[in-house]
Every structure is written in C-alpha cells, then in structure tokens.
Amino acid sequence: MTRRSIFLLGLSAAPLGAQKGFAVRKAADKFYGAWRLLEYPRMGVDPIGRLAYDALGRMYLQVIRRDRPRFASGTREGTPGEIHDAWMGSLSYYGNYLLNAERQMVLHHIEACSFPNWVESDQELHYAFEGDNLILTAALDGREHRSVWRHIR
C-alpha cells in the first residue's frame, strides 16, 4: 500500500459522523490548495516561495531567498561563491503528505529534492492555523525552524 493510499484511507475509512474522520476531513480541507510564503527567517528578509497540497495526498514546496546575487557570467556557470549563495538560498522538493490532525502534524514524504540527503526521507512538521495563515514548524539541524504561509485564493 502506498503512502497516498494510506492518506486516502485516513480520509475515507471513518463514517462522516465519526469524530476522528470529521477532524481529519476538516484539517485536510484547510490544507488543500496553494500557499505563498510570508516568512522563513532561514531564507533572509522577504523570501519568496510556494507550497501546495492536493486532495490526493501530493505536495510540493519551493523557497528562495529574494536577495540571492546574480551570476556575473549571466550563465549557469558561476564562481564557487555564487554557486554557494545560490545553493544556500533555495530549497525545493515534492512528494506525498500525511496529516495527523490529533497531533497537529503533517508528514512530507519527499520523493525528489534539491538537497539530495532528503530524497526518500520523511520530514515531520507541526502545523497551526492563524486566520488565513499556515504556520509550519520543523526541528532541523538541532534547531526549530518556523515558516508562515498565506493561502492563495
């Protein structure tokens, strides 16, 4: 059974009136759609990014530092410093996701990622909603990282 199948079972296995099934549906409905990055201190001031979740359990994420310097060559061939800044100033991945409404946790199962060590890994993020914003918090590198996303309507 795939992770996507498990996600879908979690949404459809409980009768509509069941408390647990209702909580999962309610949480999932809030996640669906596209999100615009508002805040992610690790990526500097005013970073840009997109995050999306669909009803089939798929997701993608891309975050980029807005202030990354351009390569002087105008091509993809940069100096070691330019390549370092470009690398450290971006992250993108896609895969499947699972929600645990009781723990307020979303698990990103990463299929492909710009950071090779995360390919075929699971990243656990805790979530909270504040108005139209989604707050994601993850423990990475021994520190807590928080990002804020606004639902795109």
Q: Judge contact between 23 and 102, C-beta under 8 A.
A: yes
In CATH, what number is assigned to the domain containing residue 93?
A: 2.40.128.280
Report the pLDDT averaged over residues 75-99: 95
SS3 of residue 16 by DSSP: coil
Counting beta carbons within 10 angstroms of the beta carbon of residue 8, is it exposed (0 to 12), middle (13 to 18) or buried (19 or more)? middle
Q: Which of 12-21, 40-49, 77-86, 93-102 has the lowest mean pLDDT?
A: 12-21
Report the pLDDT averaged over residues 87-93: 97
Q: How many domains does the structure of the chain reveal?
A: 1
Q: Which residue did the predictor score with more confidence, 8 or 68? A: 68
Confidence at 13, pLDDT banded by 50, 70, 90: very low
When the pLDDT of each residue in the chain is averaged and rounded to a whole number, the result is 87
pLDDT for res 110: 98
Q: Which residues form the domain of 90?
A: 3-151
Q: Judge contact between 65 and 47, C-beta under 8 A.
A: yes
**The token pair that represents 67 in the structure block:** 């202030």
Report the pLDDT averaged over residues 132-140: 95
Confidence at 140, pLDDT banded by 50, 70, 90: confident
pLDDT(11) > 60: no
* pTM (two decimals): 0.81
pLDDT for res 4: 44
pLDDT for res 118: 96
User: Residue 26: in which H helix or E strand, if any?
Assistant: helix 19-31
